[in-house]
Every structure is written in C-alpha cells, then in structure tokens.
C-alpha cells in the first residue's frame, strides 16, 4: 500500500515550512500539537564536501530521538543544502540511517551567505546540476524513503521555471515544493500563484504550493489559482499558530475555533520553559522576542508584550514579565 503520510496529486496535505532560526524543534512541537500538519521539514543542514557527524543531524532534528516524529506524531524530514552531489548523497544516506523518514533538498534559499557558496537558489540557474544532486541522493537512499525538493520559480526571472520543474521530476524526486517567487523577488515581490499552475501542469509528481498563505482565504485563493491542494506554510504559521488547524477544518467543512491571545501567551511561556533544559538563556530571550515580533501581525497584545520585554536581557526578567501578562488576562 502507498505511504499515506506523503503528498500525492489528489491529497490535501499541509506541511510546516523550514525557516532558519525560527521553526526549530521547540516550535515544531508546539505547532504540531495544535494540529493540522501532516509533515514538517527541518531548517537546512549545510553540506559542503564531507560526511557530517550524527550530532549535527540531531541538533537540527531532535525528533530523531523519538522515531523522526514530534510528540504529536507528525513526521519530521531533514532538509539538506549543498552543491556537491556525492556529499549530498552520502549525508542523505547518513540522515536516513539515523532515522529521518524522508529527505528534502533546498534549492530555494535566497540568502546571500548561502548563494555565494553556490547553494540554495543559486542552483536554480543550472537545472542539470540540480538533476545531478537529486538523482545522486535518490540512488543513495532506499526507494521507500521519499526525496523531495524545495525550489523557487527561478533565480533572476522565470525563464527556466518549467525546465527546473522538469529536471526535478526527471531526477526522481517524489514531490516538489514551489515557493511562488524568484530568488530576486526575495519575500517582497507579490506572490505569483499563477505560475504555480503552470508548474503543476507540466508535472506528474505532486506539487506543494508555498508562499504567502497566511489565512484560510489565502489558502482558498492559492489552491483555486494553482490547482494544487497540497500546501506548505511558514510565516503565516508562526504569526497564527492555529492556521494549519483552521485550514484543515476548512477542508473538512467544519467550523474552526481560533486561539485567543491568552492561549498563545501560554504557548509562548511553554516554549521558553521547555528550552531551559537544553539551551542558553540568552538564546531563549532572543527566541521569545522573535516569536512575539512575528505574532504582532495577528495579535495586537503581542506588540504590547514585545514592547515591555524588548530591552530585557535576563531570562528571569522576561519570564516574570510574561507571567505577569498572563495573570492580568
């Protein structure tokens, strides 16, 4: 029987996007327990030309210790970023041996620090090189392990968009996630969902639509325009922690409840408390501020909370302020 965890042309899967420095194992655990997600993808693991030690994979994917799943039972797939086919293949095989239920390959990161090293979206300029990387990884792992690719519409423009999509499929990828912008667009240019329809039309493998899905209405319009029911959400998921659950309820024609600011504040406090056993308190403070800053878009009270703790550097002060906010609600 086919593995129902993974997208097909006819499914309505919801994936949690990899967001470097934002969606780590702590946030994945919180968001997947709220519900709605079928799969998560880790922040990218950078591959150069050497096999990485197990501790590197474990750092990016602590879920390897729990069968490659969050505590909610949602599979977590390791994402690799690199330009060397042999090294990518070797590290993919190592990640699978450690327990990842799949491999995702990053050809979409627009960051300058990544692109100047010929990684991420830089490779969109060379579909043949992308083909070589994907096919090498496919050869290195068991057929039962899905290999996917995360791409954009192109580097500077959309001239190679369909060639890129065809290269991904011909290399043997099981599915592809397409962010509906080019590298040059960054995150500022209006999303081009109409291009997702063009990509979907030339593919026989499943496509995951990605880019500016921040509400149920965005989901509805994106799927109508792209013709694709599978979606990956990122920034919208962080700003609206129950977005995936809302989309799932919409898919099932059910009424969706929404999280109140009090609900979200409790989750924020939980995340910071969970982190105290593993990471330095300086990191906890910065991550707490980061999430609050992103929550401001949907929760005005998050802006007030952020203003209160913005200059704080001590974790105990932040913890006291958050609990005081909660007590006042």
pLDDT in tens, 85-96: 999 999 999 999
> Domain count of the chain?
2
Q: Give residue 117's pLDDT band: very low, low, confident or very high (50, 70, 90).
A: confident
Q: 14-16 and 231-233: which strand pairing?
A: parallel
Domain match, 282 and 247 both: no
> Which residue, among 210, 234, 219, 209, has the nearest Cα to 294 in the 3D structure?
234
Residue 36 lies in a domain: yes
Q: Do residues 256 and 249 make contact, with C-beta atoms less than 8 angstroms apart?
A: yes
Domain match, 265 and 219 both: no
- Residue 36: partners with Cβ closer than 8 Å, 6 or more residues away: 14, 242, 243, 244, 245, 246, 247, 248
Domain match, 222 and 265 both: no
Domain match, 315 and 228 both: no
What average pLDDT does this structure show over 125-132? 97
CA distance 17 to 96: 20
And the tokens for 282?
Answer: 């300086």
Residue 4 lies in a domain: no
Domain match, 226 and 301 both: no
What average pLDDT does this structure show over 19-36? 95
Domain match, 29 and 53 both: yes
Q: Give me the chain's average pLDDT, please.
A: 94
The fraction of the chain above a pLDDT of 70, given in percent, is 98
Among 251, 286, 312, give the residue marking a domain's end: 251
Domain match, 99 and 231 both: yes
- 59 pLDDT higher than 80: yes
Q: Which domain covers residue 90, as residue numbers?
A: 14-251
Domain match, 43 and 177 both: yes
| Catalytic residue, candidates 109, 222, 228, 305 | 109
- Residue 70: partners with Cβ closer than 8 Å, 6 or more residues away: 25, 28, 29, 32, 33, 40, 63, 76
Digit-coded pLDDT (tens) for 185-196? 988 889 999 999
Residue 77 lies in a domain: yes
Domain match, 221 and 283 both: no
- The whole-number pLDDT of residue 114 equals 78
- 76 pLDDT higher than 50: yes
pTM value?
0.95
Residue 171 lies in a domain: yes
Domain match, 211 and 307 both: no
The reply to whether 109 belongs to the active site is yes
């Amino acid at each position: 029987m086919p593995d129902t965890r993974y997208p097909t042309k006819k499914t309505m899967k919801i994936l949690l996007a990899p967001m470097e420095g934002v969606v780590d194992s702590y946030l994945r655990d919180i968001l997947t327990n709220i519900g709605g997600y079928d799969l998560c993808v880790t922040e990218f693991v950078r591959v150069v030309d050497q096999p990485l030690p197990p501790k590197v994979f474990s750092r990016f994917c602590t879920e390897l210790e729990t069968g490659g799943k969050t505590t909610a039972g949602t599979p977590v797939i390791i994402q690799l970023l690199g330009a060397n086919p042999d090294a990518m293949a070797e590290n993919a095989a190592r990640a699978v041996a450690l327990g990842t239920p799949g491999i995702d390959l990053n050809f979409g990161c627009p960051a300058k620090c990544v692109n100047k090293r010929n990684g991420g979206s830089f490779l969109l300029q060379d579909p043949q090189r992308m083909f070589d990387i994907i096919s090498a990884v496919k050869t290195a792992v068991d057929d039962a392990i899905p290999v996917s690719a995360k791409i954009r519409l192109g580097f500077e423009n959309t001239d190679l968009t369909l060639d890129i999509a065809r290269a991904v499929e011909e290399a043997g990828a099981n599915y592809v996630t397409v962010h509906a912008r080019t590298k040059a667009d960054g995150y500022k240019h209006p999303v081009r969902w109409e291009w997702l329809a063009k990509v979907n039309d030339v593919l026989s493998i499943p496509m995951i639509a990605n880019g500016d899905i921040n509400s149920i209405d965005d989901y509805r319009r994106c799927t109508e325009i792209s013709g694709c029911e599978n979606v990956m959400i990122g920034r919208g998921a962080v700003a609206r922690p129950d977005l995936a659950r809302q989309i799932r309820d919409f898919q099932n024609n059910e009424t969706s409840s929404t999280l109140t600011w009090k609900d979200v504040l409790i989750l924020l406090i939980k995340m910071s408390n969970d982190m105290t056993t593993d990471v330095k308190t300086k990191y906890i403070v910065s991550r707490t501020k980061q999430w609050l800053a992103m929550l401001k878009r949907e929760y005005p009270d998050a802006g007030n909370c952020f203003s209160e703790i913005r200059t704080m550097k001590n974790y105990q002060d932040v913890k006291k302020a958050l609990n005081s906010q909660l007590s006042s609600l």
